[in-house]
Amino acid sequence: MSQSLIKGALDIDPWLEPYSQRLIDRQLQFQKWYKDLQTSETSLFKFASSYETYGVHGNWDTKEVVVTQYVPDVVEVSIVGEFNNWDVTTHKLKKINNFGLWSLTIPPVKGEFAIPHDSKYKISMKLPSGEQIYRLDPWLHRATASEVKTSHLYDGRFWNPPPAETYKFKNKRATFNDTEGIRIYEAHVGISTPEPTIGSYKNFTQNVLPIIHRLGYNTIQLMAIMEHAYYASFGYQVTNFFAVSSRFGTPEDLKELIDTAHGLGIKVLLDVVHSHSSKNVEDGLNMFNGTDHYLFHGGSKGNHDLWDSRLFNYSNHETLRFLLSNLKYFIDVYQFDGFRFDGVTSMMYKHHGLSFGFSGDYNEYFNPEWVDNDAVVYLMLAHQLLTEISEKENKYKFISIAEDVSGMPTLCLSIPEGGMGFDYRLSMAIPDMWIKILKHLQDENWDLAAIVHTLTNRRYKEKCIAYCESHDQALVGDKSIAFWLMDKEMYTNMSTLSPLTPVIDRGLSLHKLIRLITFALGGEGYLNFEGNEFGHPEWLDFPRVGNNESYHYARRQFNLVGDDLLRYKFLFDFDAAMLSLDSKYGVLDKPQAYVSLKHESDKVLVFERNGLLFVFNFHATKSYPDYKIGVEAAGTYSIVLNSDDAVFGGHSRIQEVDANGKTVEYFTNNDPWNNRSNSLLVYIPTRSAIVLQLKEKIK
């Protein structure tokens, strides 16, 4: 009976058999939690709807304010704020049960809410020691930077706008067609402006969404949305989990952004941080009730030494309420379409992946001394919740992506199959590979077999998101691929009015090839960090003490693409053409490619995927006329993408249209080649790639 819980996983990967009991134990622990929540909370769905009652809420029918807080280990709880002159004696909460639940209903004053909209408030608690402490509400929906210039703290605010001022969604959630896979534009609202300042939700909606739509991305992954007091943390030191970053605008502005994206057919994912929390006490969760174990593990187990942050206790009932409600809140209130879970490796292992080199030995994934099953079960509950929300939203598919460097087996299998439920994992080895190649190898030493292995080395039936570089590679201290390729010449030789130097020529060519091979060979989805598609010339560095609080590098210079005299437009246009291969023909969410040729001395790579034929020449100096390649389907082929096209900054060495204006066609010979049934001849210039489509099949 128990074996049936993991049958799907064992069918897919028989090597899991020695660890079947560990997988079964994980499933049983999940089922126990699930049943316990159904018993104590009616259902998982209702449990995750706790954001509707916990915190501070205004009832527009009665004008009452209802306060509900989970605060164990204290003597008294009060709500204080501008509305009562911060007096701890006037609005005390009543203890509801012995598990730390407190509540208060505040009647209206003169027919209006006792707590005005957007006014400041805090939760005050009297500890057993007699000390009175003041904290921000863990469930608050808005926090803003203190108006006191000498303070770096955030103030909690009662966000309760009149119904007329609450944003109303106009568009249905976006859906994909049957052909396309997921094409993700990883973006940060604050840096999404050429100006050295903080960008806004409004700016992103008006100026960046049209760019993303024009490029052809069908999904946006929004970073740094959950409120974080320290801007330079990139959003990964969350202080207020239910508040969206106020430095970009209001909650209603974010709703408009997401609704507008849906109108363009674009899904929006939240980069959710449930792996750890900021150590801030005054404006964070840390020491909320005066103890170190409020929602967190106590003692050293509750600290992440490298990240200098607090670690959640996933075995705690109220921690699960808080985190699961957090997910449902962002889906319900802001209409997010799913999540990219940050730091999943840190969650799943008791050692958090610190100084641990994963070799692929299955014992590393299932050793009970290393694996944190409580965290694994939390992630399973999160995916069960997404399934239940989907059932109530006309079977709409919510997306989940895991940032996991370990390669945990079954991570991206469904729970009924014995997995953890993620849809995709990030292929984090791919960007590492490209940086190592560009940093350490001359062009002639590129190992095509090693490149192909890294791009195709993924677990069977577990989907991956491929990417050349994300925000990690754009940060100061590292270099983007464009910068590795072209470095300082990007400041002097990117004008079309200046001669094309060897460095820029090589850089433009390889930038396109690296992206295309990663896109076509690396996974079932594709991700790009904003600006990298056009070779953004500078790294990313947030204002901090070390750079005199400068915003100069905390921006993306989209204006460069609009300048017709700069070569950035070539990379931008190529990115759009590359993505259209998926929207038109289907590349990503299709079976892995068949690689028919990896010729190390010629530096030529050939593969087929879903009817498209990809041909790459990575050689630095050699071009090949009439190069013979294998192909399975016989018929007539034509080029649908050519990296050497002048519109992409190429040299137009490949004739795509003849003298009569007809498309040049390639005809197969019934001559088997490279283990394929047929062959054809192509011209493939140095540092270029072509993609051919079967136009007419010979039966």
pLDDT band for 179, please (50, 70, 90 cuts).
confident
Closest CA to 470 of 412, 403, 562: 403
d(CA 633, CA 670): 10
What's the whole-model pTM score?
Answer: 0.97
Token readout for 447 is 């190992």
Q: Are strands 666-667 and 594-599 parallel, antiparallel or unpaired?
A: unpaired
* Torsion over CA: 183, 189, 194, 196 (sign): negative
Catalytic residue, from 256, 342, 505, 582: name it.
Answer: 342
Q: H or E stretch including 569?
A: helix 568-585
pLDDT band for 478, please (50, 70, 90 cuts).
confident
Kindly state whether residue 642 falls inside one of the protein's structural domains.
yes
d(CA 473, CA 528): 11
Q: Helix/strand/coil (H, E, C) string of 194-225? A: CCCCCCCHHHHHHHHHHHHHHHCCCEEEEECC
Residue linked to tokens 């699960």:
320
DSSP state string for 41-92: HS-HHHHTTGGGTSEEEEETTTTEEEEEEE--S-SEEEEEEGGGTT-TTTSB
d(CA 331, CA 38): 21
589 in active site: no
Kindly state whether residue 136 falls inside one of the protein's structural domains.
yes
Answer yes or no: do 157 and 205 share one domain. Answer: no
Answer yes or no: do 439 and 580 share one domain. Answer: yes
pLDDT band for 357, please (50, 70, 90 cuts).
confident
d(CA 424, CA 40): 32
Helices (H), 367-461: 373-392, 429-440, 448-456
pLDDT at 178: 82
**Whether pLDDT at 474 is above 90:** no
* Torsion over CA: 43, 48, 54, 56 (sign): negative
What digits encode the pLDDT tens for the residues 292-342?
A: 999 999 999 999 999 999 999 999 999 999 999 999 999 999 999 999 999
d(CA 373, CA 366): 9
pLDDT at 623: 98
Percent above pLDDT 90 for the chain: 92
CATH number at residue 629: 2.60.40.1180
d(CA 266, CA 187): 13
Closest CA to 632 of 672, 586, 590, 683: 672
Answer yes or no: do 151 and 196 share one domain. Answer: no
Kindly state whether residue 12 falls inside one of the protein's structural domains.
no
pLDDT band for 3, please (50, 70, 90 cuts).
confident
pLDDT at 697: 80
Token readout for 184 is 């993700």
Q: What is the DSSP letter of 541?
A: -
d(CA 567, CA 508): 9
CATH number at residue 153: 2.60.40.10
Residues contacting 8, CB < 8 A, separation 6+: 413, 414, 416, 417, 418, 419
**Whether pLDDT at 520 is above 60:** yes
Give the residue-averaged pLDDT of 220-249. Answer: 97
Answer yes or no: do 439 and 555 share one domain. Answer: yes
Closest CA to 535 of 474, 455, 467: 474
Q: Are 567 and 495 in contact (CB under 8 A)?
A: yes
Residues contacting 635, CB < 8 A, separation 6+: 667, 668, 694, 695, 696, 697, 698
d(CA 46, CA 78): 27
What digits encode the pLDDT tens for the residues 249-269?
A: 999 999 999 999 999 999 999
Closest CA to 47 of 320, 243, 374: 320
Answer yes or no: do 258 and 206 share one domain. Answer: yes
Write down the mean pLDDT value for the chain.
Answer: 96
Residues contacting 178, CB < 8 A, separation 6+: none
Give the residue-averaged pLDDT of 165-169. Answer: 97
d(CA 48, CA 479): 41
Closest CA to 596 of 605, 586, 583: 605
pLDDT at 98: 87
Task: Give the burial class of 585: count Cβ atoms within 10 A of its Cβ; 0-12 exposed, 13-18 middle, 19 or more buried.
Answer: middle
pLDDT at 1: 53
Catalytic residue, from 318, 403, 538, 541: name it.
Answer: 403
Give the residue-averaged pLDDT of 217-237. Answer: 96
What digits encode the pLDDT tens for the residues 50-79?
A: 999 999 999 999 999 999 999 999 999 999
d(CA 421, CA 455): 23
Answer yes or no: do 550 and 583 share one domain. Answer: yes
Answer yes or no: do 96 and 211 share one domain. Answer: no
**Whether pLDDT at 394 is above 90:** no
Task: Classify each residue of 401-415 as buried b or exposed e, where b means 16 or more C-beta atoms within 10 Å of its C-beta.
Answer: bbbbbbbbbbbbbbb
**Whether pLDDT at 17 is above 80:** yes
pLDDT at 472: 84
Q: Are 612 and 534 in contact (CB under 8 A)?
A: no
pLDDT at 150: 67
Please work out, in degrees rounded to the nearest 5, the angle formed at the alpha carbon of residue 192 by the alpha carbons of 187 and 193. 170
Kindly state whether residue 579 falls inside one of the protein's structural domains.
yes
Q: What beta strand segments (E) does 171-223 contain?
A: 182-188, 219-223
Last residue of a domain, one of 133, 165, 197: 165
Kindly state whether residue 145 falls inside one of the protein's structural domains.
yes
Show the domain range for 241. 177-271+424-485+513-563+572-590
Answer yes or no: do 550 and 672 share one domain. Answer: no
Q: What beta strand segments (E) does 240-392 contain?
A: 240-244, 267-272, 303-304, 309-310, 338-341
Give the residue-averaged pLDDT of 191-209. Answer: 97
What digits encode the pLDDT tens for the residues 625-670?
A: 999 999 999 999 999 999 999 999 999 999 998 888 899 999 999 9
Answer yes or no: do 443 and 576 share one domain. Answer: yes
Last residue of a domain, one of 590, 625, 648: 590
Token readout for 491 is 């400041």
Give the residue-averaged pLDDT of 517-545. Answer: 94
Kindly state whether residue 38 falls inside one of the protein's structural domains.
no
Closest CA to 595 of 524, 693, 699, 522: 522
pLDDT at 424: 98
Closest CA to 650 of 688, 690, 623: 688
Answer yes or no: do 666 and 615 share one domain. Answer: yes
**Whether pLDDT at 151 is above 80:** no
82 in active site: no
- Among 106-110, 139-143, 177-181, whose mean pLDDT is lowest? 177-181
pLDDT at 148: 77
* Helix/strand/coil percent split, the chain, to 5: 35, 25, 45
Closest CA to 423 of 463, 457, 384: 463
Answer yes or no: do 114 and 251 share one domain. Answer: no
Task: Count how many domains the chain has.
Answer: 3
pLDDT at 364: 95
Give the residue-averaged pLDDT of 189-199. Answer: 97
Answer yes or no: do 144 and 210 share one domain. Answer: no
User: CA 199 → CA 530, 559, 568, distances in Å?
Assistant: 14, 14, 22
Token readout for 126 is 């009297």
Token readout for 635 is 């018929």
Last residue of a domain, one of 536, 555, 590: 590
